[in-house]
Amino acid sequence: MASSASKLENLEIKEMQVVPCTNSPYIQSSRVTFKQNGINRIWDYIREHDGVYILLYNTTRQALVLVKQFRPALYMTVNREQHVEQSHDLHKEHVQKIDSSIPYTAPPTCGVSYELCAGIVDKQTSLEEIAKEEVFEECGYDVPLGDIKRVSAWRGGLGTSCNMHTLFYAEVTDPMLVSGAGGGNVHEGEQIELFYLPVGELRSFMYNEDIAKECSLLFALSWWIENVQKA
């Protein structure tokens, strides 16, 4: 991971261009109209892939294994927040219009998040196998399939996509690290770094809002504290 770590430290984002999102293979919107108990309603929603998350605990290092990466959606959001006030009428200020008119002055590191190892469900295999592959691809650990335990599942945003997210847990050791593996899908331009979070620093990390993270990470760490650390 040493070489990809240096890549993220010297993150360079250039030639940024905002274009219309047509026929996306990842995000599709639709609208449904209906009568609910006689009252007319309209709702806009999106379709996304389902996802898997894997919380990894490295017992050799006594640290949780997270990933750090540049997230374009995060960068665009943070940069927008620095240039325009939160709009309360999205109708009037379309993201396309805003994001293609503001300068990209936020430093690229504003787009770096801390996350669970994760992946989308885009293969005809079991969720556990997809989880195993993501652990190898993103983190470089070769984990036996049987060591990947299911924790729980939930729905994505109930107002928007409701895709299914499943959380797994696995314990790993340094000898499971495969030389040259990890770092993400190079062909897709992913440059994923490992971040080892020592067990003594969980709570300060969780409530540090300067660190961009999803709720999935907050729940997974809460689950680990109660079900592994205190068990």
Residues within window 79-138 making contact with a copy of itself, judged by CB under 8 A: 86, 88-91, 94-96, 99, 113, 115, 121-124
Rounded CA separation 226/150 (Å) = 16
Q: How many residues bind a copy of itself (CB under 8 A)?
A: 95
* CB 150, CB 52: distance < 8 Å: no
In the complex with a copy of itself, the residue whose CB is nearer, 142 or 190, is 190
Strand, coil or helix: 197: strand
Strands 193-198 vs 149-155: parallel, antiparallel or unpaired: unpaired
To a copy of itself, the closest distance from the beta carbon of 140 in angstroms equals: 19
Rounded CA separation 120/25 (Å) = 12
Instruction: Report the site for a copy of itself in 189-208 (rule: CB under 8 A).
Output: 189, 191, 206-207
Site for a copy of itself contains 146 (CB under 8 A): no
- The residue whose two tokens read 């650390």 is 229
Instruction: Report the site for a copy of itself in 152-181 (rule: CB under 8 A).
Output: 152-163, 165
**Segment lying near a copy of itself (by CB under 8 A), choices 132-140, 148-156, 173-181, 194-202:** 148-156
In the complex with a copy of itself, the residue whose CB is nearer, 121 or 172, is 121
In the complex with a copy of itself, the residue whose CB is nearer, 114 or 136, is 114
Rounded CA separation 197/202 (Å) = 7
| Sign of the dihedral defined by the CA atoms of residues 96, 100, 101, 107, in that order | positive
In the complex with a copy of itself, the residue whose CB is nearer, 104 or 136, is 104
